[in-house]
Structure 1
Amino acid sequence: MKNENGSSNILETMPVKALFVKMAVPAVLSQLINILYNLVDKMFIGHMESGGAQALAGLGVTTPVILFLSAFAALVSMGGAPKIAIALGKNERELAERIMGSCMALLLVISALLTAGMLIWGERILLMFGASENMIGYAVDYMRIYCLGTVFIQLSLGLNTFITTQGFTKISMMNVTIGALINVMLDPILIYGCGLGIRGAAIATVIAQAVSCIFIVRFLQSEKSMIKLRILYIRMDWKLLMPCIMLGMSPALMQITENMVAISFNTVLQRYGGDLAVASMSILNSVMQFVMLLLPGLVQGA
């Protein structure tokens, strides 16, 4: 096996401590860059001349929903990545490719179900999660567009982990960076220049995730990847998927329970503090994500 420099696979040859640092640092940076998606949206939306505060509060209400959707990507990726790593350790590349293909098939099915569910019940869910009558229009506008890009988001979050698992941490970080940079460049153009407001922020996010997804899929199909994403294996093999789901259940449930705390904050703050309190909590959540980002990066590196 070869790494990105063409030498022997670093997972086989590098000392554990040095390998941990090499794997963890890009993972931490990827977490930092990932946060920029939502943070940059908040920065530009909050400075809108008309309805900035309500739009920011609406975006804040969508955050738990977005994290809930990403928990399904964690269910697949955080369970599939260890199984692929074990298969690679046994030099069973075909098995690793079949696992990855099955995981992608599951991500596609999950994306379709989540998209349909959010388009049908999205407004009710947002109201239940703390949206008020003043902000619900902004929240719905953002979520309807965001949900149309669910497939790109699920695949980019889910499949990028399989690149990291092979030891290509720099490439996985670059995939995240490309999407974040596109999002930062498109936000002011679509929000202010095109006058699309919060819908422009959602469009920018979907486009950025779509480009990132294309880069990830192309790499996994290239000769540089140790395992190939083959169309033949993109089908759900439950014998391979069930162990992945069992492994991924814990991180997915942890993310979902964290969202329940955020939902509790939003509903209580909306009742006793109104839209301004929800918008303020949205900003604080972004700050707290920066404080906590070190831990998931270290865990992924390990």
Structure 2
Amino acid sequence: METASETKLLGTAPIGRLVMKYAVPSVISLLVNALYNIVDQIFIGQGVGYLGNAATNVIFPLTVIVIAFSLLVGDGAAAYLSLKLGEGRKDQAQRGVGNAVTLLVIFGAAFLLLGIFFLEPLAHLFGATENSLPYALDYGRIIILGFPFVVIGTGLNSCIRAEGSPKVAMISMIAGAVVNTILDPVFIFACGWGVEGAALATILGQVLTFLISALYLRKPKVLQVSRRDMKLSFRTAKTVMGYGVSSFITQIAITVSILVSNNMIVQYGAASVYGPDIPLAAFGIVMKVYQILLAFMIGFGIGAQPIVGFNYGARNFLRVKKAYLLAVLCATAVAAVGFVMFQFFPQGIINLFGSEDALYNEFAQKSFRIFLMLCILAGFQTVTGIFFQSIGKPVKAAVVTLSRQILVLVPATLILPIFIGLDGVLWAGPVADAISFLIALVLALLELKHLTSQHAREQEAALCAEQGQAF
């Protein structure tokens, strides 16, 4: 079991080593989560074709909504846990995690019922065409059965990382992804089950992730969550979800932007040489691949979260700044690699998802190059949103997060196609990246200035205390 002195390493160990300790497992966990969808897309593209990929693009927003509520609770509990441990309030930290477990169970059951009764209207809402709807329903009817396991498993993963066991969180995610990757070709090709086989492989992997995460709660490192801690407290639950609102908004904003983009793509694609189905499938590939890049960027932000939260609670503001800036640097470096791949080697990525005709490849290449033109700026904006969440400032976190996906991207997606047609959906991406980066930059600079002044006051107070003791 981890001792109090080991927990306090968050306040004393080298920043670089700590960020890597938490970031690498976080990145791998998130990357594996993103790969669930990517692996499905690759095998469906090879075995079913682009209509199958269009169908998964239709169901994808529903999955993102489910994960949004999971992260609302899970990431909120992780931030709450880090702050309370930094303040030395272990009992409150345990109560926060216990309330989170109860909330995750409730949300998991609710989404299962939602999917059972409203799958078809939701598929229409998320842009299903006449050709892709049957595939979307076949895929979705099975995927929804895994919603309770997704909600609980993903939420517990966040708590496990913050509690000091990022490797356990990583292993649970990797185990599920390996099962999914092995079973996908078996179910799709050997059994001939098509999109339904891909969905079944996915939920079996999610069940394994859930089981590993749930079993960990029996012997955690720091916290001993009791049944009393799991009794819902309105005040505790509200605070926990308040801390997780940035992650929640990030996911919901992605859902809204995909919903708007899908419908605009179908509308304007129908009037183009590509038709509605090619753009729907190709743009879905772009969004899924971008989720891999986001996994790295979010992972570095989450990796810094326990360090930032603990030291902010302990009023060690210099370490807060160092952890944040290092996470920004790492996320931006990864974003730069993504930029090079998307601009110069898009066809290599496209080929992974099946061999299609020249018209499909043309639009897919254009989608990567235009929509992700300024993705190099996204690392800063992503980490900054998580940073504000980590220090208990959900309003600023929400502003930073909303600025790209909702405040800029959605209006741009609705307005630009009026003037330049289908390409307007793609140009909305760089417009949103540029404006959201500027908003995040202003808020981050103001917060860093505040942290510097706070650090100076702490140093001055400590100096005065030493001089007082000398006399």
TM-score past 0.5 threshold: yes
Identify which of structures 1 and 2 has the higher relative contact order when contacts are C-alpha pairs closer than 8 Å and 6+ apart.
Answer: 1
Displacement of 1:110: 1.1
Q: Indicate yes or no: 2:144 matched with 1:142.
A: no
**Partner secondary structure for residue 132 of structure 1:** coil
CA distance in 2, matches of 1:29, 1:277: 30
Q: 2:43 maps to which residue? A: 44
Range with bigger deviation, 70-79 or 267-276: 267-276
Query: What CA distance in whole angstroms lies between the structure 1 residues aligned with 2:293 and 2:19?
Result: 21
Determine the structure 1 residue equivalent to 2:240.
Answer: 244
Matched-pair identity in %: 31
8 A contact 2:35–2:292 mirrored in 1: no
Aligned to 1:270: 266
Unaligned runs of 5+ in 2: 270-274, 305-471
For 2:143 and 2:232, the matched residues in 1 are separated by: 26
> Residues 1-302 of structure 1: matches in 2 within 5 Å?
2=2, 8-9=6-7, 10-11=9-10, 13-48=12-47, 51-222=48-219, 224-271=220-267, 272=269, 273-302=275-304
AA at the equivalent of 2:264: V
1:181 & 1:7 partners in 2: Cα distance?
36
Give SS of 2:77's match: helix
CA distance in 2, matches of 1:244, 1:90: 16
| Aligned-partner residue type, residue 250 of structure 2 | M
Tell me if the contact between 1:219 and 1:225 (Cα under 8 Å) persists in the aligned partners: no
Per-residue deviation, 1:229: 4.2
Q: Distance in 2 between matches of 1:291 and 1:254?
A: 15
Which shows bigger deviation, 37-46 or 129-138? Answer: 129-138
User: Given the superposition, is the C-alpha separation of residues 188 and 282 from structure 1 closer, same or farther in structure 2, using an over 3 Å criterion?
Assistant: same
Q: Deviations over 1:223-280 (max 9, x none)?
A: x522134444333221210111112122211221122111222112222231122111
Equivalent position amino acid for 1:176 in 2:
M
Question: Where do 5+ consecutive residues of structure 1 fail to align?
Answer: none
**Preserved contact between residue 79 and residue 244 of structure 2 (Cα < 8 Å):** no
1:217–1:229: 8 Å Cα contact kept in structure 2?
A: no
Question: Counterparts of 2:147 and 2:92 in 1: how far apart (Å)?
Answer: 28
Distance in structure 1 (CA, Å) of the matches to 2:139 and 2:225:
32
- Judged with a 3 Å threshold, the aligned counterparts in structure 2 of structure 1 residues 229 and 204 are, in CA distance, closer, same or farther, namely farther
Deviations 1:107-146 (A, max 9, x none): 1111111111121111101111100121111111222211
The alignment yields a C-alpha RMSD, in angstroms, of 1.9
Cα separation, 2, equivalents of 1:229 and 1:41: 36
Question: Residue 101 of structure 1 contacts residue 230 of structure 1 at CA under 8 Å; is this kept in 2?
Answer: yes
Q: Secondary structure at the match of 1:241?
A: helix
- Residue 16 of structure 1 and its aligned partner are, at CA, apart by 2.6
- Structure 1 248/7 Cα, relative in aligned 2: closer, same or farther at 3 Å? closer
C-alpha distance in structure 2 between counterparts of 1:212 and 1:96, whole Å: 24
Aligned length: 297
Displacement of 1:64 after TM fit? 1.5
Q: Which amino acid counterpart does residue 300 of structure 1 have in structure 2? A: I
CA drift of 1:295 comes to 1.7
Contact 1:2 1:8 in 2 (8 A): yes
Q: Which has the larger radius of gyration?
A: 2
Shift in Å, 1:155: 0.8
Q: Which amino acid counterpart does residue 198 of structure 2 have in structure 1?
A: A
Task: Using the TM superposition, give the Cα deviation of residue 7 of structure 1 relative to its aligned residue in structure 2, in angstroms.
Answer: 8.5
Given that 1:101 and 1:234 are in contact with CA atoms closer than 8 Å, whether structure 2 keeps it comes out as yes
Residues 38 and 289, structure 2, Cα contact 8 Å, conserved in 1? no
3-state SS in 2 of match to 1:228: coil
Q: How far apart, CA to CA, are the structure 2 residues paired with 1:151 and 1:232? A: 23
Distance between the aligned counterparts of 1:259 and 1:117, measured in 2? 16
SS of 1:8's partner is helix
Q: Which TM-score applies when normalising by structure 1?
A: 0.92
Q: 2: distance between equivalents of 1:148 and 1:140?
A: 13
Cα gap change, 1:125 to 1:207, in 2 (>3 Å): same
Distance 2:175 2:224 in 1: 22
One-letter amino acid of the counterpart of residue 286, structure 2 = L
Compared CA separation, residues 95 and 7, structure 1 to 2 (3 A): closer
Spell out, residue by residue over 1:71-108, the C-alpha distance to the aligned partner (whole angstroms, 9 max, x if none). Answer: 10111112111111223234443332222121111111
1-structure distance, mates of 2:281, 2:263: 12
